[in-house]
Structure 1
């Protein structure tokens, strides 16, 4: 299982551990992933995704999963999230605009 956020595409970063004597050794900074259940308002369905804690705050700010997915770039989304985005777009397109 990859250590990558399914909504933002954030993955591990590479850096150094720096000792007191200034010796640098390679290390990885892993994203803070949380398995979360997110509710889609348009589909009336829940989805279980591995998302970073920062992405959860962004979801609240943007107004939920549907609003976030519609504005997100396809390159950043995982295949599962991309499938959800297509379903949401199709559902919103079939609803009559009042």
Structure 2
């Protein structure tokens, strides 16, 4: 399983550990990923995602999963999140038509 946030696209970063003697060794910085269940209000369902803690705070700040998915570009979202976004758009279009 890749270590990439499903909602923000945040992944690993590479840098250096620098010792007191200024020796540099490679280091990988991994995002703090958590398995969470987020609820879509418009679809009235819950979905499981692997999200970074930063992404989780961002979702809550933007008014929930529905608003986050509609505002975020498709290239940042995972395949699972894209499916939910398509369902959400379809549900919104059918509710507007009715």
TM range (shorter): over 0.9
Q: SS at the partner of 2:75?
A: coil
Runs of 5+ consecutive residues of structure 2 not aligned to the other structure:
none
TM-align CA RMSD: 1.2
Indicate whether 1:71 and 2:77 are aligned.
Answer: no
Match of 1:56 in 2: 56
Alignment: residue pair count = 98
Q: Write the distance in 2 (CA, Å) between the matches of 1:55 and 1:93.
A: 27
Deviation at 1:97, TM superposition (A): 7.0
Match of 1:6 in 2: 6
Question: What SS is found at the alignment partner of 2:10?
Answer: coil
- Measure the CA separation in 2 of the matches of 1:96 and 1:86: 15
Q: Which residue of 2 aligns with 1:42?
A: 42
Distance 2:2 2:62 in 1: 26
Q: Give TM-score scaled by structure 1 length.
A: 0.97
- Give the TM-score normalised by structure 2: 0.97
Instruction: Give the structure with the larger helix fraction.
Output: 2
d(CA) in 1 for partners of 2:58 and 2:89? 20
